Amino acid sequence: GAGVSQSPSNKVTEKGKDVELRCDPISGHTALYWYRQRLGQGLEFLIYFQGNSAPDKSGLPSDRFSAERTGESVSTLTIQRTQQEDSAVYLCASSLGGRGRWDEQFFGPGTRLTVL
Q: Which residues bind other proteins (CB under 8 A)?
A: 31, 33, 35, 40-45, 48, 50, 56, 58-59, 89, 91, 93, 101-102, 104-110
Report the alpha-carbon distance of residue 24 to residue 113 in Å, rounded.
Answer: 18
Report the alpha-carbon distance of residue 29 to residue 51 in Å, rounded.
Answer: 9
How many CB atoms within 10 Å of residue 114?
13
Question: Which run of H or of E encompasses 113?
Answer: strand 111-115
Q: Minimum Å distance from CB 75 to other proteins?
A: 15
Q: Minimum Å distance from CB 112 to other proteins?
A: 8
Residue 24, CB-side half-sphere exposure with 13 Å CA sphere: 9
Q: Minimum Å distance from CB 45 to other proteins?
A: 5
Residue 53 vs 78, nearer CB to other proteins: 53
Residue 80 vs 107, nearer CB to other proteins: 107
